[in-house]
Amino acid sequence: MPLFGRSQKSPQELVKQLRDAVSALSKGDKGDKKVEKASEDVSKCLASIKALMNQSAEQDSQSEFLAQLGHEMYSANLLLILIQNLAKIDFEGRKDVVHIFNNLLRQQIGTRTPTVEHICQHQEILIELMKGYENKEIALRCGMMLRECCRYEALSKIMLYAENFFDFFNYVEVSTFDIASDAFSTFKDLLTKHKMLSAEFLENNYDKVFDAYLTLLNSENYVTRRQALKLLGELLLDRHNFTVMTKYISNPDNLKLMMNMLREKSRNIQFEAFHVFKVFVANPNKPRPIMEILLRNKEKLVDFLTKFHTDRSEDEQFNDEKAYLIKQIKELKPPEDS
């Protein structure tokens, strides 16, 4: 009994025990007596690893225990095995897996982060984690681990460029609200945490990403629509994404979409749409198709904006921007050569 026994088990023994127990758990069927026993063993092992982790953290000898534990886990490829079998592990055990995983991930020796390196060499771990969103039982646990992974550029890069990344466009819309929002925050982290990385990704995959993004903006689900719109505004207004912004605001379809969203029923969506719409109008080099749409709707837009959210008198910035837009639209002139 590692928890109460006198002699402490070495990381090596613990990992071996855990691996055997998980393998027994994965083989059997539900209801099997052997499986029940294995499940119990797995949870016990996880609990004692977690306890030792906490203990060593307090004693400041953390690095040594963690380093050994990590080493054993990597060579047994236990991180992958644990995640593959996460659904079979019981409730407490799953929590412990998250704890152990995230702790190992944060472990740093000098400038090296060994767990990050390990995952880079075993990308299946990330793929498995992303797929975790498809299983209600473990979705939130996987989310917690994924967001910890998002903090590392190397891991974010793998996730962004994995085919599975595009599954997020479905995950953020699933009917279970907490899973959808969890998936959205992971999705957002991937697109915003590492500015250069995501800017490059968005540039290189512009069509694919924004085609998919359109489904979010047109979603039936109010929360998805609103969150997606807000994130779009953030992405476009971040200077790192300058190229993407320029491209986005050159497309008349995008302008039409925003103009429609300005008239949505929900005031919050109207407001978020305003912050994307303003970029189209403020652009000093509007391409002809954009110019034409704005010119065609000049009177209507001025009228609409004048009456738009007039009760936000407190929000100076919004009012300044609105006044600026109205002025810009009023002063719009058709290009000389038309």
Partner 1 sequence: MAEGAAMQKFLQLDSDQMHNFDLDHGMSFIHDDDNLDTGLPFIHHVDSDQIIYHPRRRRAKYIGKYLVGDVLGEGSYGKVKEVLDTESLIRRAVKILKKKKLRKIPNGEQNVQREIQLLKRLKHRNIIQLIDVLQNEEKQKMYIVMEYCVSELQEMLDSVPEKKFPLWQAHMYFVQLIEGLEYLHGKGIIHKDIKPSNLLVTTDETLKITDLGVAEELDAFSKDDTCRTSQGSPAFQPPEIANGLETFHGFKVDVWSTGVTLYNITTGLYPFEGENIYKLFENIGKGEYTIPDFVDKSLTSLIRGMLDYEASKRFSIEQIKQHEWFRRKLPRTSEIVRFPPLSDGDHLRSMTVVPFIEDMLCGEPSEDEYENEDELLQFVPNRNNQITEQTLQNEIFEEPVPDPKHKKRKEKVSGTRRNKFNACTQS
Residue 58 binds to partner 1 (criterion: CB under 8 A):
no
Residue 238 binds to partner 1 (criterion: CB under 8 A):
yes
Got the DSSP string for 195-210?
A: HHHHHHHHHHTHHHHH
Residue 1 binds to partner 1 (criterion: CB under 8 A):
no
Residue 195 binds to partner 1 (criterion: CB under 8 A):
yes
Q: Which stretch binds partner 1 (CB under 8 A): 46-54, 160-168, 231-239, 297-305?
A: 231-239
Residue 314 binds to partner 1 (criterion: CB under 8 A):
no
Question: What tokens appear for 156 in the block?
Answer: 């974010």
Q: Which stretch binds partner 1 (CB under 8 A): 34-42, 47-55, 66-74, 275-283?
A: 275-283
Among 44, 95, 240, 312, binds partner 1 (CB under 8 A): 240
* Distance in Å, CB of 187 to partner 1, minimum: 19
Residue 111 binds to partner 1 (criterion: CB under 8 A):
yes
Could you give the 3-state DSSP secondary structure of residue 174?
Answer: coil
Residue 12 binds to partner 1 (criterion: CB under 8 A):
no
Nearer Cβ to partner 1 (209/279): 279
For residue 29, the 8-state DSSP code is P
Residue 317 binds to partner 1 (criterion: CB under 8 A):
yes
Among 55, 242, 256, 335, binds partner 1 (CB under 8 A): 242
Of 96, 215, 209, the C-alpha closest to 145 is 96
Could you give the 3-state DSSP secondary structure of residue 193?
Answer: coil
Nearer Cβ to partner 1 (12/246): 246
The residues near 77 (Cβ < 8 Å, ≥ 6 apart) are 122
Nearer Cβ to partner 1 (88/286): 286
Nearer Cβ to partner 1 (29/314): 314
Among 207, 220, 311, 316, binds partner 1 (CB under 8 A): 316
Nearer Cβ to partner 1 (108/176): 108
Residue 239 binds to partner 1 (criterion: CB under 8 A):
yes
Could you give the 3-state DSSP secondary structure of residue 109?
Answer: strand
Residue given tokens 């472990």 in the structure block:
107
Backbone torsions φ then ψ of 175, nearest 5 degrees: -75, -20
Instruction: Identify whether the C-beta of residue 66 lies closer than 8 Å to the C-beta of residue 104.
Output: yes
Residue 196 binds to partner 1 (criterion: CB under 8 A):
yes
Instruction: Identify whether the C-beta of residue 315 lies closer than 8 Å to the C-beta of residue 268.
Output: no
- Which positions touch partner 1 (CB under 8 A)? 108-111, 195-196, 237-240, 242, 245, 279, 282-285, 316-317
